[in-house]
Amino acid sequence: MDERIAAVEEMGLPAFRAKQISTHYFSHYVTDTEAMTDLPKDLRGEIQQRFFPHLLTEVRRLRTENGDTIKFLWRLFDGALVESVLMRYRNRVTLCVSSQCGCGMNCPFCATGQQGLTRNMSTAEIVEQVVRANQVIAAGELAEAPTSDMPGAGETALGAEADGPGDGEAANDEEGTATSASGPERVSNIVFMGMGEPLANYKRVMNAVRRFVGPAPEGLGMSPRRITISTVGLVPGINKLAAEDIPVTFALSLHAPDDELRDEMIPVNTRWKADEAIDAAYNYFQVTGRRVSIEYALIKDMNDHAWRAELLAQKLNARGRGWVHVNPIPLNPTPGSVWTASEPEVADEFVRRLIDHGIPTTIRDTRGSDIDGACGQLAAAD
Ligand code: SF4
């Protein structure tokens, strides 16, 4: 807010204009100054230019048949393409956001990873994805909340909760709904599981998180626990995140408990080993008191063996009890890829072994897979 005040004062305007502009953007999701009737008419053009540069151009929008999931393809000012996915659940609305154009981590099973990294997204570009999604919700373009609990696609008998990507324990959170305290319905949960490795764009991602959690009109006034930051295991970044004093939900994309396989699946594992990543996740729990999620894409005959479930359980329990929740996700196959999802019985067995060891485990809904909007499938193409 101080920077906004300085910017309006630079224009020769009083400080309260910064608050007005902020309220329009963060509370009403308005970006067209012509609609900001409390601003002097002759200044709206200049305010538009200085405060509301055009950040995201919608190139394409795909909706699932029942309208509860929408995938957006955005073009940024320099032509780079990114995607975000908006998903309605019974008691929340989740937006999966991108943090980088492409990704430099090069995980072989991931569509985004095949593109390489074009550039980091700016804080404003990250925040704007949420504001644009809120505009879409306010316009009634996302289907209404279901009245009954229909199981989501990809769920198995053991997947008790229709859990969205990365929502983890926030799904069981009583606090909040998809409606803000005072205003209309809006995005209630944000997951950094779109394109990019968020901790590789640390500073801008954290600035965006501060805009998400800042009280209105400073920011969107969201609860930190409803924001999930997911990483493939950049250990220094995880430790830095733990020290931020913003208790976001943290998710580690582990995908394999042993280094031999993880080196192959997640190239950055050659730098920080599986045990170091798990230690950092445990440290996150210890520092923040927030239970962490382990994401595990179940890939047929690759990482879905019962012995790997046993090894995973052993490694997690060796650090303590009650600190972690595992989310296995049947892989969303990328066209042309040899990697494919585990058989349901194999996935169930994997889950059963973890549960037998006392580890809360939920197979994640692969919502959006019919529009290529599920995890590992975001690969923006015009
Ligand atoms: S899985 Fe995540 S970190 Fe790996 S390439 Fe894909 S987007 Fe990047």
Atom index in ligand 1 nearest the CA of residue 266 equals: 4
pLDDT one-digit tens code per residue, 109-157: 888 888 899 999 999 999 999 999 999 999 999 998 766 544 443 333 2
Alpha carbons 127 and 113: distance in angstroms, whole number? 23
Atom index in ligand 1 nearest the CA of residue 232 equals: 3
What's the one-letter identity of residue 299?
I
Atom index in ligand 1 nearest the CA of residue 111 equals: 6
Q: How far is CA 233 from CA 23, 120, 154, 194, 372, in A?
A: 37, 18, 26, 16, 25
pLDDT one-digit tens code per residue, 42-98: 999 999 999 999 999 999 999 999 999 999 999 999 999 999 999 998 899 999 999
Closest CA to 71 of 188, 195, 242: 195
Q: In angstroms, what is the span from residue 123 Cα to ligand 1's centroid?
A: 20
pLDDT one-digit tens code per residue, 207-234: 999 999 999 999 999 999 999 999 999 9
Catalytic residues: 83, 375
Which residues are CB-contacts of 21 (< 8 A; sequence separation ≥ 6)?
Answer: 4, 8, 36, 39, 47, 51
pLDDT one-digit tens code per residue, 345-359: 999 999 999 999 999
Alpha carbons 106 and 116: distance in angstroms, whole number? 7
What residues line ligand 1, using a CB cutoff of 6 Å?
Answer: 103, 105-107, 110, 112-113, 196-197, 232, 376
pLDDT band at 239 (very low <50, low <70, confident <90, very high): very high
Report all structural domains of the chain as residue ranges with CATH numbers, in order of start. Answer: 2-51 (1.10.150), 57-371 (3.20.20.70)
Closest CA to 105 of 216, 226, 269: 269
Q: In angstroms, what is the span from residue 97 Cα to ligand 1's centroid?
A: 13
Give yes or no for a contact between 330 and 376, defined as CB atoms under 8 angstroms apart. Answer: no
For the chain, give the mean pLDDT: 88
Q: What percent of the chain has pLDDT over 70?
A: 85
Rounded (10°) CA dihedral 225, 229, 233, 234: -110
Average pLDDT over every residue of 247-252: 96
